[in-house]
A and B are shown apart, each in its own frame.
Chain A
């Protein structure tokens, strides 16, 4: 079929799949395990499999959207600036919690991957798992990891974080709203932040701050270290 070769068709289908994902998310009363991006990915992976379309052909259309990631990363400066006053009050505690927390989880992931799978590219890809996807893709590219997998690791981590963090912290009696929000943003990036938004305004402000700071810290630090 001609249509399947047309780049615009795949760009159209990507937008349509995301909107379908959003609708489903609202219909099911916002289940944490099914963010719109996951539905969209599953639908498109299915569409490519059914039509036997190679990823390269799809990406000729997907590229239209993908190219816009650059300016969107730059845009993250705006929420970071808006949260600046929240940060200043407890900056030492916040920056310690974010850097130690996020570096612990990626060190654990890197070490486990290296030990269990003994695969350099996969271990490198694991490093980007706690940063919000657009930054993760850029960093993985820089480090020589596998960008397609990096995006999946990040999304799966976000969903796991959104599900695990609040119950775990409650179990340890570390469930002040600031702590829950900050941990959701540090370990669960954008998907964790979306979860924090449902928990309350304090949680979401801390989560958004933590997500942006983690991304900035890792984006600057990881390329120097590896």
Chain B
């Protein structure tokens, strides 16, 4: 629970920072960056935070289910535009994969 308290502390700090500087970046991301800076300065992950992370990580997708179920409220839109949106999602992925692969491996092929 102490690990969870650390997460809440940094979330609140992130919310405060975002509000203070009027940043367009989501508060939770500010909190994440603050925690990253804290970990880099400290040089290791506190034991309680490590335990919490190990416990919660496999369950992360579950917390996304409620917002995803919201597609039910979009049924009409999906009936009209669903297939086209799927095509867009497939087609747009291709250049991304090519660019990412080429930069990561370009010029260092062993053969």
Contact = CB atoms under 8 A, between A and B. Distances in A.
Asked if A pairs with B, the answer is: yes
Interface of A: 14-15, 17-18, 35-37, 40-41, 44-45, 48-49, 55, 58-59, 62-63, 65-66, 68-82, 84, 93-94, 96-98, 100-102, 104-106, 108-109, 112-113, 116-117, 122, 126, 129-130, 133-135, 137-139, 141-142, 146-149, 151-153, 155-157, 160-161, 164-165, 168-169, 172-174, 176, 178-179, 182-183, 186-187, 190, 216, 219-220, 223-224
B97 A165 contact: yes
A74 B67 contact: no
B96 A130 contact: yes
Contact of A82 (B25, B45, B90): B45
Given A37-B64, A76-B32, A141 B26 contact: yes
Dominant secondary structure of chain A at its interface with chain B: helix
B108 to A, nearest CB: 8
B72 to A, nearest CB: 5
B26 A108 contact: no
Which of B25, B40, B64 neighbours the largest number of chain A CB atoms within 10 Å of its CB? B64
15 contacts: A37-B64, A58-B66, A72-B56, A74-B14, A100-B100, A101-B96, A101-B100, A105-B96, A106-B96, A117-B81, A141-B26, A174-B101, A174-B104, A219-B29, A220-B29
Interface of B: 4, 7-8, 10-11, 14, 23-29, 31-33, 35-36, 39-40, 45, 49-50, 52-53, 56-57, 60-74, 77, 81, 84-86, 88-105, 109, 111
Given A142-B25, A149-B77, 17 more contacts: A14-B69, A73-B26, A73-B31, A75-B57, A79-B53, A93-B103, A101-B100, A108-B95, A126-B88, A129-B92, A135-B26, A137-B67, A139-B26, A168-B97, A169-B101, A179-B105, A223-B23
Given A18-B65, A37-B65, A75-B53, A135 B29 contact: yes
Contact of A157 (B8, B93, B103, B104): B93
Contacts of B31: 70, 73-74
B96 A102 contact: yes
Which of A66, A153, A168, A179 neighbours the largest number of chain B CB atoms within 10 Å of its CB? A179
B88 A116 contact: yes
Nearest to A134: B64
B25 A164 contact: no
Contacts of A58: 66, 69
B1 to A, nearest CB: 12
A149 B71 contact: yes
Given A109-B88, A148-B68, A156-B86, A122 B81 contact: yes
